[in-house]
Amino acid sequence: MKYISYNKKVYKIKTSQYKMNKRLLLATLIIVLVIGVVILIRVGPTESGKSIESQTEGSIKMVSASELSQHNSKEDCWVVFEGKVYDLTDFIPRHPGGEDKIIPQCGSPTKFEQAFLGQHGRSKVDFFMKVGVLIGDLDVVGSY
């Protein structure tokens, strides 16, 4: 038997019931923690504090080839996919195939899409849309 004090009253409960309640509480806390971590990973902020969610259509900016070419490093990587410019800087260290698969494509209007489709086909497009931060549309006038 175990005695528990609550609101100035003492309750007598069986030890097995007390242990079961503790286990149930612990299991519930673990489930809530796992769900919270999963949500944070899927939609939480990236290392730089930018939201992974894309900008709204009304706020899309035009990105010139000149501006795009300035974002060509591991520390600042923009790529183009289907005419849209995405920031992949925060994803580079987490890329399962290694950083070296993305970095050479940074800042180019055509290299990333060719490499991406050559490696993955369309199987990873949905995932790419979640990890890439939409910057805007590539301004094709004078881009090539």
Pairing of strands 2-6, 9-13: antiparallel
Q: If we measure between CA atoms, which residue out of 120, 109, 57 comes closest to residue 86?
A: 109
pLDDT, position 53: 44
First-to-last alpha carbon distance for the chain, in angstroms, is 80
Half-sphere exposure of 116 (CA within 13 A, CB side): 25
The pTM for the full model equals 0.58
pLDDT tens for residues 57-66?
A: 456 789 999 9
Cα(8)–Cα(19) distance, rounded to whole angstroms? 22
107-132 pLDDT tens trace = 999 999 999 999 999 888 888 888 99
**18-67 residue pLDDT tens:** 667 788 889 999 999 998 888 777 655 544 444 444 444 456 789 999 99
CA 107 – CA 96 distance, rounded (Å):
21
Amino acid at 46: T
Q: Which tokens is 37 given?
A: 């971590």
- E strand residue ranges, 31-83: 61-63, 72-73, 76-81
Tell me, what's the pLDDT at 105?
Answer: 92
DSSP assignment letter at 49: S
| Fold classification of 57-138 (topology level) | Flavocytochrome B2; Chain A, domain 1 (3.10.120)
